[in-house]
Amino acid sequence: MQRPAEVFATLRKRGHELFQSGLTSAATLKNLLAQRPLRSSFAVCNLSTVVKRFQYWKEEMPIVHPHYAIKSNPDPLILRTLALLGAGFDCASPGEIADVLAADVDPARIIYANPVKSHTAIQFALDRNVTTFTFDCAVELEKLLSHPHPNMRLVLRIAPSATMNPWELGFKFGAPAADIQALIDICRDRKAPLVGLSFHVGSYCMTTAAFGTAVDLARHWTEYAAQQGIVFDLIDIGGGFPGVDTTDEVVNAPHSPQLTRHLPTVTETVAPAAQGAAAAAAPEDQSKRPSLRLIASALRPLLADWQKAMPHIRFISEPGRPVAPVVPIVPNPSLPDFDPLHPRDPPAMSPFEPMSDAKPATPVTDQTPMEPEDPRCHTVRYYIGDGVYGTIFGPTCDSLDCILRSTACPLAEEGDWFYSTFFGAYTAAGVTHFNGINPQVIYVIDPIHEPTTEK
């Protein structure tokens, strides 16, 4: 496992271009636009954010080794950064396995965590020495056993109790309570290489109790398996953890573009700041999602007690949002009457007011944002790249590609730039190549992680 500066030095030696970030998102983008002649939309990925989030996870849950759920953001440099930091990886398909192996990851650090796989997919993994698989039914178990391998390791995924989460996964994956004993017994009788259990409480988990109940259930069945002569050494506590805990990031924020004058102009998508870390320690409010810190404080004593009773148990997890960075999406709006041969002159430079962690930013602007009742808010459209932002569209020609409707924003001119300080996990993973539009990603790191400055 390398230190952050060593990680980024390694990436540069391998030919990856890393720019230095600014004190604010706007400063970072201003620097990038000054250094590169960018004329089309791009995303900015701060790899230092990946490092900080990975370190934060390790601080809060030191005995739970993260296996990054790459579905949340499969960016190649994010994978390489996490690989150099020592992370494991949760893969759900041959394609994801290939992506992780391309980042020079030891196959032993991969868990094939999709409980339903084709014979072809199973053999693909085994041919590449990926040997840890999940299953949740007898049919899948038999399918796996039909591919004998001396190093195969099987993990039974169980369905936790219903949690009332917005995105329950138990209805699709996980052995129901009525089937768990029978599946363990089949493994005993077949001498299957069953080595542990996994569960997932669901995305956007609304309570820490869901994690505690799932841990208790998994421990119960671990003890039952031991009575059958099956000693588990792996417990996967899954995902469902929040991606934001600190004041410098934004949670569930509405996006309201503001126009800020730069060289060239930058339009910022402003949003309320997240609550501070101190709020994470407050008593749990069932109407809000608990923070990672609050979940960790509930899980640590449960897992420590379990590990004390069974020292051979190793805990892993499948975090996506807690590790995947917030990626500002920076579209270059093209107005319908855009003339590429006669672009307008850039505006005079104005000072920029840094974003505040305590309140929405108030950027310097020479135009007033349209109010929601302004009829222009319902009629003005800005073309982003080759596509549209009054109503905010994505860049494809599909009318369903609409980001926000009737959004309060200033009137822009050709050559102005928009950016958002927060899009969150799964944004990059959900990018479409429809209409032949391909995303461009620019990577930055914080000055503190430069090889010459890190101590």
Q: Which domains does the chain have, with CATH numbers?
A: 11-40+253-275+327-455 (no CATH), 47-245+289-317 (3.20.20.10)
pLDDT band per the 50, 70, 90 thresholds, residue 235? very high
User: In this structure, how many other beta carbons lie within 10 angstroms of the beta carbon of residue 112?
Assistant: 26
Query: Is 428's pLDDT higher than 60?
Result: yes
Burial track 46-60 (b if 16+ CB lie within 10 A, e otherwise) = bbbbbbbbbebbbeb
Instruction: Write down the pLDDT at residue 274.
Output: 29
Query: Is 4's pLDDT higher than 70?
Result: yes
Instruction: Decide: helix, strand or coil at residue 198.
Output: strand
Distance (Å, whole) CA 51 – CA 445: 10
pLDDT band per the 50, 70, 90 thresholds, residue 453? low
Residue 252 or 178, more confident? 178
Query: Is 72's pLDDT higher than 60?
Result: yes
Residue 67 or 38, more confident? 67
Handedness of CA 56, 61, 62, 67 (dihedral sign): negative
pLDDT band per the 50, 70, 90 thresholds, residue 289? confident
Instruction: Write down the pLDDT at residue 127.
Output: 98
Name residues whose C-beta falls within 8 Å of residue 121's C-beta, 6 or more positions apart in sequence: 93, 94
Residue 409 or 116, more confident? 116
Name residues whose C-beta falls within 8 Å of residue 38's C-beta, 6 or more positions apart in sequence: 32, 332
Residue 120 or 352, more confident? 120
Query: Is 181's pLDDT higher than 70?
Result: yes
Instruction: Decide: helix, strand or coil at residue 270.
Output: strand
pLDDT band per the 50, 70, 90 thresholds, residue 164? low
Handedness of CA 185, 187, 193, 195 (dihedral sign): negative
* Contact call for residues 120 and 153 (beta carbons, < 8 A): no
Identify the bridge partners of residue 418 per DSSP, sorted by sequence position.
267
Q: Mean pLDDT highest for which of 281-290, 314-323, 357-366?
A: 314-323
Instruction: Write down the pLDDT at residue 59.
Output: 93
In the chain, the percentage of residues whose pLDDT exceeds 70 is 65
Instruction: Write down the pLDDT at residue 23.
Output: 76
Average pLDDT over the chain, rounded to an integer? 75
Q: Tens digit of pLDDT for each residue in 311-345? A: 999 999 998 877 776 565 565 544 333 222 333 33
Can you read off the two tokens belonging to residue 168? 């329950």
CA 316 to chain centre: 17
Instruction: Write down the pLDDT at residue 389.
Output: 39
pLDDT band per the 50, 70, 90 thresholds, residue 203? confident
Over residues 349-356, mean pLDDT: 26
Task: Give the predicted TM-score (pTM) of the model.
Answer: 0.78
Distance (Å, whole) CA 383 – CA 305: 57
pLDDT band per the 50, 70, 90 thresholds, residue 361? very low
Instruction: Write down the pLDDT at residue 188.
Output: 97
Distance (Å, whole) CA 256 – CA 245: 22
